Amino acid sequence: MIETTIKDDLKKVEEGLARNQLFTGLEDFYRKGIISRGEVRTWPAGTQIITEGDPGDAVFFIISGRVKVTLYGEEGREIVLAILNDGDMFGEMSIIDDKPRSANVEAVQDLQCLVVTKGAFLDYMSRHHKVYMRFFAYLTGRLREATRKIGGLALLDVCGRIAHTLLGMARAAGTDKEVVEIERPTHEQLAAMIGSSREVVSRALKKMTQEGYIKIEKDRILLYISE
């Protein structure tokens, strides 16, 4: 882990926070207030940032990079719960319920985050009601998303589960369009997210491509939405 000061790249940090739903559209002083309470940290790809069971002592706002949120079964099988990118956050649940970390978080690309300690984050929230209300709306959205995922895993076939997962990965602003753009996950990541194997996912993606539901490009997947 490499630590830097906020002054090293203040503009980049502010732009990263502007993509987070807690701060999108708000005045600059809201972002400057949380920045002043945190520090910027960077990690190389492959670093485990959070380990399940650890105490929750900070919130992480992704400025650049990507992480995967995972659990491991008894036999070591990895289950990917989410892929998070710049503008997302993680580590917030343990801050609220004061319980150990519920999952692992690993950097899958070189990662830079604004890290805010529990005390500093709670102090900030107590002083900024507008962000406080957005935070609880965010948590409600997380709960709805978990319900959606559970329903999808239980009720859909493999192609349906893939489409369901890709929609969940899409930015909210894009889900009302006829074509949704998703940053391309690997076949292994998709398999871990839907509880299947890489081989099954590869066959399903080929079928979905042939039938015109998706188009796979180098760095993205286009998902075609029909009424």
- What's 107's domain CATH number? 2.60.120.10
Q: What's the sign of the alpha-carbon dihedral 199, 205, 206, 207?
A: positive
User: Looking at the structure, do residues 162 and 214 belong to the same domain, yes or no?
Assistant: yes
Q: Based on the domain organization, do 78 and 184 belong to the same domain? A: no
The answer to whether residues 16 and 96 belong to one domain is yes
Same domain (yes/no): 126, 190: no
Of 148, 182, 197, the residue at which a domain comes to its end is: 148
pLDDT at 7: 54
Residue 172: the pLDDT is 42
- Helix (H), strand (E) at residue 135: helix 129-155
**Contact between residue 4 and residue 111 where contact means Cβ atoms under 8 Å apart:** no
Q: Which helix H or strand E contains 37, and what residues bound it? A: none
User: Which residues are registered as beta bridge partners of 224?
Assistant: 179
Task: Spell out the per-residue pLDDT of the chain, length 227, in tens.
Answer: 444 555 557 888 999 999 999 999 999 999 999 999 999 999 999 999 999 999 999 999 999 999 999 988 767 778 888 889 999 999 998 988 889 999 999 999 999 999 999 999 999 999 999 999 999 998 888 778 777 676 666 667 888 888 878 877 775 434 456 777 888 888 888 888 887 888 888 999 999 898 888 889 888 888 887 64
130 in the same domain as 202: no
Q: What per-residue confidence (pLDDT) applies to 155?
A: 61
pLDDT at 174: 45
Task: Please compute, for residue 114, the number of CA atoms within 13 A of its CA located in the half-sphere on the CB side.
Answer: 31
Q: Residue 38 — left, alpha, or beta (φ > 0 → left; ψ -120 to 50 → alpha)?
A: beta
Looking at the fold, whether 138 and 74 belong to one and the same domain comes out as yes
Q: What is the pTM of this model?
A: 0.71
pLDDT at 196: 81
